[in-house]
Amino acid sequence: MMNKGFGFKAKPKQASFKYTGTTRPGVLSPTRKVPPEIMRPEYADTGRIITQPPRFPWVIEEKSEADIAGMRAAGRVAREVLDAAGRAVAAGVTTDSIDAVVHAETVARGAYPSPLNYSGFPKSCCTSLNEIVCHGIPDSTVLKEGDILNIDVTVFLNGYHGDCSEMFCVGEVDDAAKELLQVTYDAWQKAADFCKPGKHYKEIGAVIQEYVEARGYTTVKNFCGHGIGSVFHTNPTILHYKNNEPNGVMRVGHTFTIEPMICEGKPDNVVWPDKWTAATIDGKRTAQFEHTFLMNENGVEPLTGKLQTSPRQFWEK
């Protein structure tokens, strides 16, 4: 069974766990509190996911105008929060301090940080460093010059989720890191450009895989993009590799994420004993970008798109 985005939880090998790269788990700070007046998703208090995707993967909700307005607002907040987190990235900063920024900026806008207590996840965002594919838990880990970091932010605002992630360079990074980020970004953009009403969701993966493999990279197969709205993870499932899964046809009003994870080495990964953090099996670096997209008549619109004030990638400056 394919796992949808942030909802993936694997059973790691506990005995004598072998870390594959240089990143190690740090110390967790206490759980951050959300003011009681802020609207919460169903899992906020218990960690239990109650609402499940439709049984058939091709059954996909078409959002109403009211839904779309709500998702635009959530997407805008998610982008503002991600931008604030990105500005905090620097050598000597801990990933926990970035989580503190995400948490504070989210609740200041009247939103709930969607990752917090989702199936028990302990923090308000994911910080995935170097060889960490996704779902890195913010902790006392200190960022170093030359690191690459993915920050994944999702907010729940007035009943709707907005989800986005981006790569950030810690100071100066090497040319290989720059190429990895550029290729990942370009593959992601090509996938978004491909999307039009009437096309099949299964076709997205081939666009990504063919582009990255032609440049010597690989695409992760056990994490995927997903539908999103009032529910954090739902249909459609967006696979980032060639497949023939019956995951439906693109229609106006669909909202979903595309979030390929691209690797310098092998695409396989191992989950740490914390049951969340996924690392490349060979310890090589990985990168990811993500938007929440809305399908309209002409293609997709990024609901979490960059603002004029957003931090820029090195190729955008």
pLDDT digits (tens, 9 = 90+) for 203-232: 999 999 999 999 999 999 999 999 999 999
For residue 11, pLDDT over 90 is answered with no
pLDDT digits (tens, 9 = 90+) for 304-316: 999 999 999 999 9
pLDDT digits (tens, 9 = 90+) for 168-179: 999 999 999 999
> What's the token pair of residue 21?
């790269």
The DSSP string of 254-284 is -EEEE--EEESS-S-EEE-TTSS-EEETT--
Closest CA to 45 of 126, 117, 124, 137: 117
At 36 the pLDDT is 97
Mean pLDDT (the chain) is 95
At 77 the pLDDT is 99
Fold of 60-304: Creatine Amidinohydrolase (3.90.230)
Annotated binding site for substrate: which residue ranges? 135, 233
Q: What pTM was estimated for this model as a whole? A: 0.95
At 16 the pLDDT is 85
3-state helix, strand, coil in the chain (%, to 5): 25, 25, 55
Cβ neighbors of 225 (< 8 A, separation 6 or more) are 5, 204, 237, 238, 239, 240, 256, 257, 258, 259, 260, 290
Annotated binding site for a divalent metal cation: which residue ranges? 152, 163, 226, 259, 290
For residue 2, pLDDT over 50 is answered with no
At 191 the pLDDT is 98
Annotated binding site: which residue ranges? 135, 152, 163, 226, 233, 259, 290
pLDDT digits (tens, 9 = 90+) for 134-163: 999 999 999 999 999 999 999 999 999 999
User: Could you state, in order of their start, the residue ranges of all structural domains in the chain?
Assistant: 60-304
Band of pLDDT at residue 8, cut at 50, 70 and 90:
very low
pLDDT digits (tens, 9 = 90+) for 54-85: 999 999 999 999 999 999 999 999 999 999 99
For residue 1, pLDDT over 90 is answered with no
For residue 10, pLDDT over 90 is answered with no
At 317 the pLDDT is 81
pLDDT digits (tens, 9 = 90+) for 13-61: 455 899 999 999 999 999 999 999 999 999 999 999 999 999 999 999 9
